[in-house]
Amino acid sequence: MNKEELKQAAGILALTRVRNQPIDQLPDKYRPTDEAEGYLVQEQVHLLLDEAGYGKRVGYKIGCTTPVMQKFLQIDGPCSGGILNTSTNYIATSAQHRNFSNPGVECEIAAFIGSDLIPDGNPFTQESVAPNVKALFAAIEIVDDRWTDYKSVDTPTLIADDFFASGIVLSQPKRIQDAPDLSSAIGHMTINGKEVGKGLTGDILGHPFEALAWLANSLATRGKNLKTGEIVMLGSVVETQWVLPGDEVSIDIDGVGDALVKFV
């Protein structure tokens, strides 16, 4: 894809999102051919959404970092999208169901970046990224299925469309020095008071910071890096749950915190 085709692809995706209209497929000539092109389109989408008043990117979400989500989406490796400041919420909030095409929720752990992760030519690892994390959150990711049939959409195109990203709800922060063992903390999700899923934070690539290292390495290949103050959603420990108007969703991760959103 040339620069004009990248912009056209981003324009279609951004307009669809602003209008809250489901989309079937991108036209063939505007469809990214690989994940690298998908991320280039995604960057353009972020710029267009900012121009449309959706706010600036303040972090990243990582999808498909646990076996349950890889099986659910039939994608065998991580993919990332952006977090916008206007869709970042804290502790408890409400969300207008009609503002989404088909909203779903996930139970995640998120990291607050306390210092820049500057590439030095060596791969980032779980151990090398850990000192850059200042705090953790338990978090709800609100995803939005903006496709008429997402199962028919290829991975580069899903990446171009921000990999279902739509919003987040963060718990109170937990200082990293007070955090539990992230290889074995348990996350729970309930909808309307009924538990619908639970999982271990260690399911996230063996340790959530492995996902953070993956993102840092992915960004480095694109000439970018994680920066102080950014938030990174590290992946869901439960399968995505699609929600209806009136549903109240709560999550908690043992030793980290809890969060709630009600769809009205």
* 191 is a domain residue: yes
Q: Over pLDDT 70: what percentage of the chain?
A: 100
pLDDT recorded at residue 21: 87
88 vs 19, 105, 119, 162, 171, CA distance in Å? 20, 14, 27, 15, 11
Which structural domain range is residue 61 located in? 56-263
Tell me whether residue 4 is in a domain: no
Q: pLDDT tens for residues 169-189?
A: 999 999 999 999 999 999 999
Backbone angles phi, psi at 225, to 5 degrees: -155, 160
CA pair distance 113, 115, nearest whole angstrom: 6
Length of the chain: 264
Mean pLDDT over the full length of the chain? 96
Q: Is 111's pLDDT higher than 90?
A: yes
Q: What CATH number has the domain bearing residue 150?
A: 3.90.850.10
Q: What is the DSSP letter of 91?
A: S
**Model confidence pLDDT, tens digit, residues 84-103:** 998 999 999 999 999 999 99
The rounded distance, in Å, linking the Cα atoms of 95 and 93 is 7
Is 44 part of any domain? no
Q: Is residue 15 part of a domain?
A: no
Distance CA 251, CA 105 (A): 10
Confidence of residue 230 (pLDDT cuts 50, 70, 90): very high
pLDDT at 240: 96
Q: What is the pLDDT of residue 232?
A: 98
Q: Give the separation between CA 56 and CA 240, rounded to whole angstroms.
A: 25
Average pLDDT over residues 209-226: 97
Instruction: Please report the pLDDT score of residue 254 as a whole number.
Output: 97
SS3 content of the chain, % helix, strand, coil (to 5): 35, 35, 35
Residue 141 forms part of a structural domain: yes
Please name every residue paired with 143 in a beta bridge, in sequence order, or none if there are none. 104, 165
18 within a domain of the structure (yes/no):
no
- For the segment 154-172, what is each residue's pLDDT rounded down to a tens digit? 999 999 999 999 999 999 9
User: Cβ(144)–Cβ(102) under 8 Å?
Assistant: yes
DSSP sequence for 170-187: E---EEGGG---TTT-EE
pLDDT, mean of residues 31-54? 95
At 241, the pLDDT band (50, 70, 90 cuts) reads very high
- Is residue 30 a part of any domain in this protein? no
Residues 92 and 264 sit within 8 Å (Cβ to Cβ): no
Q: Has residue 16 been placed in a domain?
A: no
Stronger pLDDT, 72 or 255, i.e. the higher one: 255
pTM for this predicted structure: 0.95
Taking residues 209-223, report their average pLDDT: 97
Q: How many domains does the chain have?
A: 1
